[in-house]
Amino acid sequence: MNSKRKGRSSRALDILIIILAVLPILACIVLKVLTNPASEGINISGPLIYFHIHMPIQDLYITESQINSLAVVISVFWLCIYLTRGLKTRPDKKRQIVAEWIVEKVDGLVKNNMGSYFKNFPPFIAAIMALSAFSSLLSLAGLFPPTSDLNVVGGWAILVFILITHYKMKCGPWQYAKSFASPVALAPLNVISEVATPISMAFRHYGNVLSGSVVSVLIGAALQGLSAKLFSWLPGALSGVPFLRIGLPAVLSIYFDVFSGCLQAFIFAMLTMLYVANGFPEELYFKRKEKKNNKNNNKVKVR
């Protein structure tokens, strides 16, 4: 009896966690339905502005991108809770196998691209990929994907740029400044290249996701118009049915929304790993660290 009760309570808790993971997305759908103004024809616009907060310098606008991003974070959080709940030494549930597979793949990805020094990076890389991929997949639910907002992706790129600069300065500010003069003739180009890093990362991700959404809308509208022309001879209400929009947009969505969104998440994570690892002067850092340790040891011996 106790085992049956534990099994029922465990299943009930799993269902509750799944509901908590889906609930933020459903809330965003309801919010958009209630606030999105009716429109006719093709409507390609930025995220809706729900409200704004008065600030001393500039008002803070709370947009659809921010709300949807928060919903994705909450959903991914509960998804992680679901995948990692009740872990055992010998996995007996598929979700634990999935969780272990994700951990192994991300660990291998970081190890192969960044080296053993960055062994603590897998959670950060996994978070980047999950946040980016699920944000892009929101378009499947009819929501505005946050990755189509340059402000959101630009914030991610600035965060990664700060991280890159942090590891480049591991050997001190002077060594970081000297890296721009290698060679001296290309110093201006090196500075421009450094500044262009977050810009290129942001525009690459934003442009690819946004273009996929725009192309999907244009193709859907074109198929609707073509269907109206070809099947206008049908009697009654059948003449208004967009037959050409049945099936084909869904197939195109597999590429533009699913494949392209997941691919851009992977590319953004790969660029993060490569920029951080390549910018870190590993040999020079360990030599400098060894010299410091030797000096400290000599001081201790003298004392």
- Compute the distance between CA of residue 78 and CA of residue 76 in angstroms, rounded to an integer: 6
And the tokens for 149? 């907002």
Whether 106 maps to a domain, the answer reads yes
Name residue 53's beta-bridge partners: 60
Q: In this structure, is residue 114 part of a structural domain?
A: yes
pLDDT surpasses 60 at 77: yes
How big is the chain, counted in residues?
A: 303
Within a domain: 270: yes
pLDDT in tens, 82-125: 999 888 888 878 888 999 999 999 999 999 998 888 888 999 99
How many domains does the chain fold into?
1
Give the angle subtended at the CA of 159 by the CAs of 157 and 160, to the nearest 5°: 65
Per the listing, tokens 């659809």 go with: 64
- Distance in Å from the first CA to the final CA of the chain: 70
Q: Is the pLDDT of residue 300 over 60?
A: no
Per-residue pLDDT at 24 exceeds 90: yes
Residue 140: inside a domain: yes
Under the banding of pLDDT at 50, 70 and 90, the label for residue 250 is low
Strand partners, 63: 49
| Upper half-sphere CA count for residue 3 (Cβ side, 13 Å) | 0
Residue 292 has pLDDT above 70, yes or no: yes
Mean pLDDT of 209-231: 73
Q: What is the pLDDT of residues 144-191, one digit of tens each?
A: 888 888 889 999 999 999 999 988 888 778 888 877 777 777 778 888
Tell me if 299 is assigned to some domain.
Answer: no
Helices (H) and strands (E) in the chain, counts: 10, 2
**Mean pLDDT, the chain, integer:** 82
* The predicted structure's pLDDT at residue 247: 61
Considering only residues 193 and 292, tell me which one the structure prediction assigns the higher pLDDT.
193
Residue 202 CA to residue 154 CA, distance in Å, equals 5
Amino acid 301: pLDDT: 60
Measured CA to CA, the distance from residue 110 to residue 102 in angstroms comes to 12
Q: Are 296 and 178 in contact (CB under 8 A)?
A: no
Task: Please identify which residue in the block is written with the tokens 């921010």.
Answer: 66
1 or 103: whose pLDDT is higher?
A: 103
DSSP 184: G
pLDDT score of 283 more than 90: no
Does residue 182 sit within a domain? yes
DSSP string computed for 227-257: HHHHTTTS-GGGGG--GGGSSHHHHHHIIII
The percentage of residues in the chain with a pLDDT greater than 70, rounded to a whole number, is: 84
Q: Which domain holds residue 266?
A: 19-27+61-285
Q: Let me know if residue 44 belongs to a domain.
A: no
Q: Is the dihedral of CA 207, 280, 113, 72 positive or negative?
A: negative
Mean pLDDT of 64-86: 92
CA distance 144 to 136: 9
Q: What percent of the chain has pLDDT over 90?
A: 27
Alpha-carbon gap, residue 46 to 55, rounded angstroms = 23
Q: Is residue 53 part of a domain?
A: no
